[in-house]
Structure 1
């Protein structure tokens, strides 16, 4: 988000943090998602709530009148705060509600001590979709009803992953908001990383790293970057040995395959 939307987002995020301690975060997430979907589907309402030329008071009052008695006091407080904000684009308001709902799901997972697991499961499913052309096509086909495509995700994940993972993995299909599936899942992962105030390292290795290896790597990377680093892994036998670490746009490639490639290129250049 850019311009005035950043300040409005910060205020909304602060409100979410304040109300989370006294509620069931998953129930609150469901309410926030429903509010966002309601606003997104009603163009006049979306424009009225996001109009930067209107004062915060009337917009807050409009949100209150529409949602009072239909959602919990905590959800009402959040939608009022979002409505009172100044948004650079009307879609920023709906994006804010979506992000707040996702963050509430992650807050519930964090409270239960399973945030790492949910984050890792989402990452692994995104990688599966990205590497399987048929699955990616089945998930993104516009000529197939979204509910059927979401059911495909449920069938693939239910019983194999945590319910929070299944819930979040469906959302980009049911409510894509103009984003491709992988981009939407990566957006969720960034929200999770922000909640834990850390960066995510994607580590590619020939064999799967065990918990001890991942912990040691996370510790080393955290010292290197001066911030907490969450390590998630990808298995790719073609790397042969060693590790490739992706952190944002930065790549640390220490794989044997990379070294062989460099040797071949040097010999060819000679």
Structure 2
């Protein structure tokens, strides 16, 4: 997940609070504007340097952003961009990264009570791309235009998932992450984090019952001190038991793991 340090972390926290006040009805528009602004700052190195240069007075930086984006973005977005320009950033590139993350936060705001569905759908698309090499190659093909890739996403997902999910999958094609899968995973975690949740990926040999899912989620919530959103991966190689990945932690209670432990003890 994109992380920020020092002044950039402070700026991101403050701006996230501002996005939290954006009206749900306009949040999707604000998200699109923020994604476009992030792309502009990434592509224009000179602009990025000026807007993040602390030797330039804040009034000049916010004025420049106002001149560039007035009439091109929603009023709420313009306020956010001017606010961002007036803040301190640890690294120049942090500004564009922050605007993209704020766009994801705005997307979550746009779906209201369907935020959990958004997390599930992002995970589902990530699994689809991971498991389909033809699709993965098509979405990462540098020869194909962004419009062509976007059309492919529309044909696959439109009408089957939330419009917000389609918007985020298209954003994942922007090239700001190493891979489309990495972008989707980061967006998924951000979407869960907006709701105050962590994400746990659970590998199981077969689907869990609703009761089993609830017990596991409750146990992880107690262990980590915050609600945990479960993503279940059906993996026949597990044989039995569960493998849970949450952040940097791995809880491996699979049969395969226990057999490996037994082999090591015998060998030792």
Q: Give the structure-2-normalised TM-score.
A: 0.90
Distance 1:12 1:235 in 2: 38
Tell me how far 1:204 sits from its aligned partner.
0.8
Tell me how far 1:98 sits from its aligned partner.
0.9
Partner of 2:214: 215
Deviations 1:197-255 (A, max 9, x none): 22111111111224333222111111122221111110011212211111112111112
CA contact (8 A) 2:206 2:236 kept: yes
Partner of 1:96: 98
Does 1:82 pair with 2:81? no
Equivalent position SS for 1:54 = coil
Distance 2:186 2:257 in 1: 29
Partner of 2:59: 57
Distance 1:262 1:132 in 2: 33
Distance 1:60 1:141 in 2: 37
Q: Give the structure-1-normalised TM-score.
A: 0.90
Distance 2:259 2:151 in 1: 44
Aligned length: 265
Partner of 1:10: 13
Tell me how far 1:39 sits from its aligned partner.
3.3
Deviations 1:91-120 (A, max 9, x none): 2111111111111001122x1x21111111
Deviations 1:109-139 (A, max 9, x none): 2x1x211111111112212222333332222
Larger relative contact order (C-alpha < 8 A, sep ≥ 6)? 2
Tell me how far 1:178 sits from its aligned partner.
4.6
Partner of 1:120: 120
Distance 2:207 2:152 in 1: 27
Equivalent position SS for 1:24 = helix
Distance 1:34 1:105 in 2: 14
Distance 2:147 2:197 in 1: 34
Unaligned runs of 5+ residues in structure 2 are none
Partner of 2:42: 40
